[in-house]
Amino acid sequence: MTLQPPAAPQASPPAEGPAPTGLRTALVLAVAAGAALLLALPPFDLWPLAIVGVALLAIATHRRRLRAGFGLGLLAGAVLFYPLLHWTSFAAGWLPWALLSTAEAVFFGLTGLATAWLRPLLDRWRGLLWPPLLGLLWVTQEAVRDRAPFGGFPWGRLAFSQADAPVLRLAALGGAPAVTFGVAAAAGALVGLYYLIFPAWRALPAETRRKPWLARPRLDWRRPWRDPVIVLSVIAFALVVLPRAVPLGGDQGPVKTIAIVQGNVPRLGLEFNEQRRAVLDNHVKATLQLAADVAAGKRKQPDLVVWPENSSDIDPLRNQDAAGEISAAADAIKAPILVGTVLRTNNPNNIKNAGLLWVPGAGPDPTQQYVKRHPVPFAEYMPLRSVAKLVSDKVALVRNMVPGATPGVLRTGPLTLGDVICFEVAYDGIVRDTVTGGGQVLAVQTNNATFNAAEARQQMAMVRLRAVEHGRDSMMVSTVGVSGFVDRYGSVHQLTGFNTAAVQVRAVHLTSSRTLATRLGALPEIAAVVLAVAALAAAFVLRRGRREITGDGAEKAEAR
């Protein structure tokens, strides 16, 4: 493919590859990349901007010095994560928010560095390596960020921005890593097209450049597989549009009715912990009202009722008043209740964040409880406590939350529920374990009273991805919102508002089959990481002993 004016053919890009953008332009592109990625995520949900953001960052960092690539990636990450994670400051204060946002931005810096490192490969084969290499690079970055440090923090993954996009269906094939790969690979196709077309356009006479419609691309339609512009265009189109053809869902099992109760809290904020009895009362009253509506024929009788995380911060196994209230609600509704509770231990400094099944006429069933397996560091347990005291004056409020040891698979009688608590929905393996353990429906119990509606909607996007990934009808139930049901196609039903009380009842399908993503587990992600490491090693071999020649004037720009 060449770009040429009507009269004569024009020069092709230089053999050594495109020069890097100017430093000022690169800074603007990095800021724009971070902003685009932010707007792609909830609550904005402009999902095409995720592709744009990845592409802009790649253009900004390509063929730059490694330190410049790191700096530009760090800048893009800061633009993304500081506003994205602002809700953490409501509970922890400004300094922990800044430290977390900066730590997350460092991973973007490493992505920019890696993009600059891969230039010997990216400049080869006429741009056709851009889609796979950029896809592998972003999957690898997220794989590391999801696990380190202190167990990782997966917020802001590309996959979580695609709840309304066709590429979401790739989750059924390879989970969140497959969705991230699709987004980044589509961006890579755009970058490859940019580097094929833009240098050729710049080589045109000034008069033709002022009238770009006169510069017509000459494409090799007789052998389209050999024309990189056609190939990259097809790749971009396929990654954005064709995932709609991926089949979703599984076997149509029996239907059961589930009620979710969003009782609300008297006041948002950290004072939530001082309102434990009022919060429990709210959820009991809402359930009793649901029982009255069922008796009057206004609502369908549920087979299971799900309360949110922290709906009873009073340990009902040790407090008879709390136990009596919950028993009254379960007896009235005539269905088991999954209660989100905080269980005390014999050590007063240790607690457990649990989902506990409460059976009508029998009370709590200790054999059917799930203890949160991944407590949040510095919020639900305190590593490096002596150091953390220097950062936040709220360290003394944090007790050690003891992690559970088994997946959240709860056999309620009518159905087997796969349960995860709050931020655990962001972690691939924790959710998958509930499905491989027999979960027929997925539930996310959460408490957003110390955050805001933006954080709650970000969690709901994760629930939508998990529903598609595992082919399970799902639900998210929060103390204050948002709550709602999600079908196996990722569509949300009966979504509640924020900071309000609500009860929703819906019939859901029980599913026992497993998607390809469920069967493969972490294998696609592992394969992507291995291939990314191999690409980085190949770039090392190509770079070794080779002088960096970037063209007239570009060498000076790269050194900055």
Contact assessment for residue 316 and residue 455, using Cβ atoms and an 8 Å cutoff: no
Specify the pairing of strand 337-344 against strand 400-401.
Answer: unpaired
- Helix-helix angle 276-295:320-333, to 10 degrees: 20
Specify the pairing of strand 350-359 against strand 363-371.
Answer: antiparallel
Q: In this structure, what are the phi and psi dihedrals at residue 413, rounded to the nearest 5 degrees?
A: 105, -75
Q: Is 491 helix (H, G, I), strand (E, B) or coil?
A: coil
Amino acid identity, position 519? R
Annotation says 422 is catalytic: yes
Burial of 399 (0-12, 13-18, 19+ CB in 10 A): middle
Beta bridge partners of 474: 442, 486
Residue 297's region, left for phi above 0, alpha for psi from -120 to 50, else beta, is left
What sign results for the dihedral spanned by CA atoms 459, 467, 264, 273? negative
Distance (Å, whole) CA 458 – CA 181: 20
Specify the pairing of strand 337-344 against strand 502-509.
Answer: unpaired
From the candidates 422, 455, 469, 525, which is the catalytic residue? 422
Contact assessment for residue 155 and residue 104, using Cβ atoms and an 8 Å cutoff: yes
From the candidates 104, 142, 256, 372, which is the catalytic residue? 372
| Omega before residue 43 within 30° of 0, cis | yes
Could you say which DSSP state residue 226 is in?
G
Q: Is 256 helix (H, G, I), strand (E, B) or coil?
A: strand
Annotation says 285 is catalytic: no
Contact assessment for residue 296 and residue 265, using Cβ atoms and an 8 Å cutoff: no
Distance (Å, whole) CA 400 – CA 386: 14
Residue 369's region, left for phi above 0, alpha for psi from -120 to 50, else beta, is beta
Could you say which DSSP state residue 300 is in?
P
Contact assessment for residue 41 and residue 268, using Cβ atoms and an 8 Å cutoff: no
Which residue, chain included where needed, has tokens 């189109």? 237
Annotation says 309 is catalytic: yes
Could you say which DSSP state residue 318 is in?
T
Which residue, chain included where needed, has tokens 């699709």? 182
Helices (H), 85-205: 88-92, 94-117, 119-122, 130-145, 171-202
Distance (Å, whole) CA 411 – CA 416: 4
**How far is C-alpha 541 from the geometric centre of its chain's CA atoms?**
34
Distance (Å, whole) CA 107 – CA 100: 12
Supply the residues annotated as catalytic: 309, 372, 422
